[in-house]
A and B are shown apart, each in its own frame.
Chain A
């Protein structure tokens, strides 16, 4: 099983602060996705990155895929209470063919 390690596991910040969440693996993935899960709901896709070094921006969220396609980061600028949730990275490809390999998640709480 290919493992994805997310850090930090918990993040509690004030509105307006910036933050970065990391997703690391010793394995190479053909693509990596970030999902957000709100309480009582299933995860929802935020972004897919497929090229080493790729950077994608989604409003205040910036996603980067590492050059070696083993890691990724999610950076949020000026966090808002609506960003609160569980953030999950998911890798695909390599030896995980057919499976969806998720990191253990980062619980983000943004206080007003």
Chain B
């Protein structure tokens, strides 16, 4: 059974903390993505990576950074968490090509207080 696994289902962090969200996939996919999901706004792309050590900004990269040191792992970093970063974060992976299926993790519900 193919899997994308996010390290936490729920996280509560304080304003100003550095937050790491981890994502691991076991399908040897080249592409990995981080989204945030907010009511009425759908899925908004934060960053994506098409290879190890490669990254591209998505639509809302401000306040976030990413790291991809190994093919199977893609980390999202909130350098200094703020309350407006409270959201559901979803990681996805896919093979190259737009028509390929994207596989998602179960999501991390992050609350910044």
Query: Which A positions have Cβ atoms within 8 angstroms of B?
Result: 1, 6, 9, 29-31, 33, 35, 40-45, 48, 50, 88, 90-93, 96-105
Chain B binding surface SS class? strand
A50 and B45 contact, Cβ closer than 8 Å, known pairs A40-B106, A98-B50, A99-B58: no
Q: Do residues A42 and B99 form an inter-chain contact, with CB atoms below 8 A?
A: no
20 pairs of residues in contact across A and B, judged by CB atoms under 8 Å = A29-B98, A30-B98, A31-B98, A33-B101, A35-B102, A42-B105, A43-B90, A43-B102, A43-B104, A44-B104, A50-B99, A88-B43, A92-B98, A93-B99, A98-B50, A99-B56, A100-B94, A102-B43, A103-B42, A105-B43
B74 in the interface (beta carbon within 8 A): no
Chain B residues with Cβ below 8 Å from A101 are: 45
Is there a chain A Cβ closer than 8 Å to B110's Cβ? no
Known: A93-B98, A101-B45, A103-B42. 6 other contacts (CB 8 A): A9-B40, A41-B104, A42-B104, A102-B35, A105-B42, A105-B43
Per-residue interface assignment for chain B, residues 71 to 102, with 1 indicating a CB less than 8 Å from any chain A CB and 0 otherwise: 00000000000000000001010100111011
Tell me the complex Cα distance, A31–B100, Å.
Answer: 9
A44: chain B residues within 8 A (beta carbon): 104
